[in-house]
Structure 1
Amino acid sequence: MQHLSLEPSAVEVQNLQAMNEIFAEVLGLRRLVHTTSGMTFELGTDNDGHTHVLMLLAASAPVTPRIFNIEVANDEFGVLCQRLEHYCHLLEDIRIQESTNSMSHQCAWRVATCRLPEGHYLRLAAIDPSRCAPLPQNSGPAESLP
């Protein structure tokens, strides 16, 4: 998994227990640190060996809702969607969309969104190359302009 947003990967939340259940149990993220003031989850490691994390920090006052944009592997997408639906006691407005016949090479997106506690949103995105439309075949070299 990797974070897809330009927003910071540290988010304030009031209900750490509910958010822990979502990120640890629903998404299956490994919790690296858990204290009374927050927790840190491992999203994954990039090709250079850098670990990407998501930090949840305890807040005592209501916070502005945020969107968590996370890219997941295509082969994990279906399982994660089933988990989202299984945890409907924590999640609201679960929507799953799958594009078909995308005309852009390798961008047939599969997207799941849901509302988390405290009004935050989770967006899981995966690319499914098998759903992309074939690229048009060139019939020959482009004609020269006069």
Structure 2
Amino acid sequence: MTGGAEAGDGIIFKRSSCPITNGLNIFGDKWTLLVIRDLVLGKRRYADFISSPENIASNILADRLKRLETAGLVCRRVYQQKPVRYEYVLTEKGNDLKPVLEAISRWGKKHCPGTDVFRPVDPPALPVSKTGSTNSDFND
């Protein structure tokens, strides 16, 4: 897939066929992972993302949500008709990033003293394991 080969969902990998490189092409900047984190924690609406403590700028948020939708990680759906307003949910492909966030969270808790823990906004919306529980590394 070097030299501009195309993968699923219209994502073009220009640098190499390395899976880490290609993953970083999609979600490798600070803001994208934070938006995915917020989605995993149950945030769904634009105002929810804007209210996150990192203070993402509105134009950056709009860009990242669009990129995530184009990459097939997020689905946008209408929740209000007049005026039209959208909410965002992770697709199965997006939910597959939860272990990545859990690993980063474990690393941060271990190596960054004073790291704060984020609680789910809407616990039922969180992906649940086959055993019926959520992974405590991300939430606790």
TM-score by length of 2: 0.30
Q: Which has the higher strand share?
A: 1
Which structure shows the higher helix fraction? 2
Larger Rg: 1
> How does the TM-score come out when normalised to structure 1?
0.29
